[in-house]
Amino acid sequence: MLQEVLNGLMSRYQERVPDVSAVIAAMVSNGLIGKADDIENDHIAFRTMGVPQLGVQSLEKIFLHYGYTKMDHYYFASKKLDAWWYAPPLPKYPRIFISELRVTDLSQQAQDIITSYTDEVKADPVTLLDLDDSKAVDTFLHSGLWRTPTLADFQALAAESEYAAWVIYNRYYLNHFTVSVHNLPAGYNTIAEFNQFLEQNGFILNDAGGKIKTSPDGKLLQSATVAGMIPATFAGGETIKIAGSYVEFAERKVLPEFADLPAGAVRREHRREGFEAGNADKIFESTYSTQTKKSS
């Protein structure tokens, strides 16, 4: 069940985000991995609108049903976001990071625009789904939820919250998957080295707060590509390029209490867990125009 839903998310994401196949191809051709399936997916991420019948409380029901456990909360004051991460039922599955726009923190005008769309969803749609039907869940995750936005609404939202504009158009499309770098061959198994590999291969990295985002304990290091621009067609028929999704990279260092384990014995539970608000705050900007202007 869970594997089928994850496969459906990854296949749509890979079609929309050319950097996904390009990163995988570069890793294979340089011998970092044998095939795409060898990549360890550290986590995937979704964005949601925080209105009562949607948001995290709705989307999370799918993953709680598949055995995920809700973990820590993070708050992003200036971006007006909340987020939680979810631990998978088995280590072979990715962690999940779901964020939510604090809609009532926005201006009345932005709230009115958002609710004019989200009010089309009358009740929490996940409660109407048969979560044991992976096809139905897959279709739901890639459905419109609300009508296609107008360009004027998209631009009005973007002026106040680029996150809001992203969600009004992109809905539940996967925001990113994350290549775990610490188990890659020596020379590529740190974020610093992997970033160098990425840049040598022509990928453009998010440099908000620096290309390497490091947690205060020094044990979670992350980087991300700048989201590619995708053609988006609006309600009036206009087509402009807007930010799509991106790819992230994560290095989780071994915890001090396991420092003496032989390299071959180190597993996920021996490494730094969870997320870091300071890192995440900058990674969100991978879809913001301050970053995407470098790719377009």
Residues of this chain that bind ligand OOG (CB under 6 A): 45, 47, 97, 99, 175, 222, 248, 275, 279-280, 283-284
Total residues in contact with Ni ion, by rule CB under 5 A: 2
CA distance 57 to 53: 8
* Contact call for residues 215 and 276 (beta carbons, < 8 A): yes
Between 134 and 225, name the residue whose CB sits nearer to Ni ion.
225
Report which secondary-structure segment, H or E, holds 283. Answer: helix 277-283
CA distance 258 to 136: 43
Between 131 and 179, name the residue whose CB sits nearer to ligand OOG.
179
Least CB distance from residue 236 to ligand OOG, whole Å?
A: 28
Residue 175's binding partner, choosing from Ni ion, ligand OOG, none, with beta-carbon cut-off 5 to 8 A by kind?
A: ligand OOG
Q: Which of 221, 280, 224 is nearest to 253 (CA)?
A: 221
Residue 284's binding partner, choosing from ligand OOG, Ni ion, none, with beta-carbon cut-off 5 to 8 A by kind?
A: ligand OOG
Is residue 248 within the footprint of Ni ion (CB under 5 A)? yes
Least CB distance from residue 66 to ligand OOG, whole Å?
A: 20
**String marking each residue 8-47 x if it binds Ni ion according to CB under 5 A:** -------------------------------------x--
CA distance 222 to 215: 9
Is residue 60 within the footprint of Ni ion (CB under 5 A)? no
Q: What is the CB neighbour count within 10 angstroms for residue 220?
A: 23
Least CB distance from residue 271 to ligand OOG, whole Å?
A: 15
CA distance 167 to 147: 13
Least CB distance from residue 162 to ligand OOG, whole Å?
A: 10
Stretch that binds Ni ion, among 140-148, 194-202, 206-214, 247-255 (CB under 5 A): 247-255
Question: Which two three-digit tokens encode residue 212?
Answer: 């390497």
Strands (E) in 30-144, as ranges, are 41-49, 69-76, 81-87, 95-101
Between 100 and 248, name the residue whose CB sits nearer to Ni ion.
248
Residue whose structure tokens are 């994350």: 178
Between 153 and 248, name the residue whose CB sits nearer to ligand OOG.
248
**3-state secondary structure (DSSP) of residue 134:** helix
* Contact call for residues 223 and 248 (beta carbons, < 8 A): yes
Between 205 and 280, name the residue whose CB sits nearer to ligand OOG.
280
Between 114 and 280, name the residue whose CB sits nearer to Ni ion.
280
* Contact call for residues 274 and 250 (beta carbons, < 8 A): no
Q: Please give the residue ranges that form the binding site for Ni ion (CB under 5 A).
A: 45, 248
